[in-house]
Amino acid sequence: MATASVAFKSREDHRKQIELEEARKAGLAPAELDEDGKEINPHIPQYMSSAPWYLNAEKPSLKHQRKWKSDPNYTKSWYDRGAKVFQAEKYRKGACINCGAMTHDAKSCMERPRQVGAKWTNKHIAPDEKIETFELDYDGKRDRWNGYDASSYALVVGRYEAQDEARRKYLKEQQLKKLEEKNNNQSGEAEVSDGDDDEDDLRIDEAKVDESKQMDFAKVEKRVRTTGGGSTGTVRNLRIREDTAKYLLNLDVNSAHYDPKTRSMREDPLPDADPNEKFYGGDNQYRNSGQALEFKQLNVHAWEAFEKGQDVHMQAAPSQAELLYKNYKIIKEQSKSHTKDTIMEKYGNAATEEELPRELLLGQSEGQVEYDRAGRIIKGQETALPRSKYEEDVHINNHTSVWGSWWKDHQWGYKCCKQTIRNSYCTGSAGIEASETAVDLMKANIARKEASEEMPAPTEEKKLATWGTDIPDDLILDEKLLAEALKKEDGRKREQRDERKRKYNVKWDDEVTAEDMEAYRMKKVHHDDPMKDFLH
């Protein structure tokens, strides 16, 4: 039984566990962590995530699925074939009776059985073999190429080359025999002249024979059974197994995808290779070129025509669909040419008109213009400046200059009146003087405020009014009455803000004192006044 040892759970705990697993699968709850702090995929089945009971696993983990038991004694080395360790001169006790080696007995001896063994003759004692013992791992036991010597393949290559050389010599001898028989029937000079031709023919025939042999080797045929009488025939198989497979062109994992079921590779496996050296550029290279692209367009036209109500089907009536597509292309070309002719008749064709003179294109001419020292024109006509397609020298709102002709303090404006508002009305020189006066007054107020902050005025016992300019200079305000007036003004403003505190019987006091007027002025704030921060 290969289940994890878990404690008993009640029905409620089991229900909560199931809800938690569903939330983890839906991504609403974080995944469970294993012993190493790694997240466990919630979609892994329980029989894989649960460890066997004999491992005493405290929590689900995938550690038991990995190779957690490793033996350092495992090796990947192989036997040293044919190695000898010791050559004895006489028979030893316990050695092989047949050959005299100490590493095996007579039953396991691989030498030829002797008529009289080495035990009695004490001659031709075989050397002791090298005995090795390995503890191979799982892969080492199943490696079919373990201990293989690649240099031994040179013998196979040499054997095949020797066969090819013998075949060529045999073919050459056969051709020479034919030439000798042919030369015996001809005279002396003809024999010499024909000898050279025959040698050339010999080379050509030999090349043809080699080429035919190679073609036969590359030719892949498949025998199939026909329907009549059980006879068989041969057809060419489209897949040549001697060619390099597509998936072997680029062994990079991130290269073009290969579909083994359909044997298709749509993308180019070697996009960076030289196009002149490549013989395969992906299946899409053939699908988007030649008649394949025309066939796709024919199918698309058949689908669109069927959707618009025409009775056409590419598979049911291919000839009709192709004829309809040809007529459609002819009508389309005629419509394009008609539209082109109509536009050319209406607007003309600039390509067929005469070319403009170079002096008009570049604004140059051969006309002579003479100037005086002051730059005035004496003779000739001044060159006209090129004008743009937009309207120029258009003035709005009585301005005499365009917008953007004046710049100050990171703002554009009009030069005629020095205003920075786009839709303002021009005020001329009067507006410039007024703006300069306002700027000077602002600078003076700022300087006065800074001076008053640096040198505060000494406190005086009398307090002058500041709510007007027509009051006499010797007006003195009472501080107690001014404080009462300020409280009274605060109460009046609270009543204005809160309608619930407004009284029904309103009494008007027509007698306003200087302290009341000063309190009203002090409590009144003009938010729209740009000079409110500079008032004293």
Place of tokens 């090129």: 386
The CA–CA distances, whole Å, from 393 to 83, 399, 421, 425 equal 107, 11, 19, 17
Structure tokens at 347: 């607007």
Closest CA relative to residue 125, chosen from 93, 81, 92: 92
The SS3 assignment for 225 reads strand
pLDDT in tens, the chain (536 residues): 444 445 677 889 989 989 999 999 888 899 888 877 888 888 888 888 888 888 777 777 787 887 766 666 666 677 888 889 999 999 999 999 999 999 999 999 999 999 999 999 999 999 999 998 887 777 778 888 888 888 888 999 999 999 999 999 999 999 998 888 888 877 555 544 555 555 555 455 554 444 444 444 444 444 444 444 444 444 444 556 777 888 888 888 888 999 888 888 888 998 888 888 888 888 888 777 788 888 999 999 999 999 988 888 888 899 999 999 999 999 999 999 999 999 988 888 877 766 766 666 666 667 788 888 888 888 877 766 666 777 777 888 888 888 888 888 888 999 898 888 888 889 888 888 888 888 888 888 888 888 877 765 555 544 445 554 455 556 778 888 888 888 888 888 887 777 776 666 666 666 788 888 888 888 876 666 677 666 54
Place of tokens 């700022």: 446
Domain coordinates of the chain in residue numbers? Answer: 11-65, 152-218, 291-347, 394-457, 479-534
**CA–CA distance, 353 with 349 (Å, rounded to integer):** 7
DSSP per-residue string spanning 476-536 = -B-HHHHHHHHHHHHHHHHHHH-GGG--SS--------HHHHHHHHHH---TT-TTGGG--
Place of tokens 């309809």: 324
Closest CA relative to residue 386, chosen from 400, 372, 404, 365: 365
Closest CA relative to residue 299, chosen from 325, 328, 332: 325
Task: Give the containing element (helix H, strand E) for 205.
Answer: helix 188-218
Structure tokens at 318: 């291919």
Structure tokens at 445: 């107020």
**CA–CA distance, 523 with 517 (Å, rounded to integer):** 10
At a CB cut-off of 8 Å and minimum separation 6, what does 11 contact? none
User: Angle of helix 153-183 relative to helix 188-218, nearest 10 degrees?
Assistant: 150
Closest CA relative to residue 316, chosen from 304, 329, 302: 302
DSSP per-residue string spanning 369-420 = -EE-TTS-EEES-PPPPP--SS--S---TT-SS-TTSEEETTEEE-TTT---
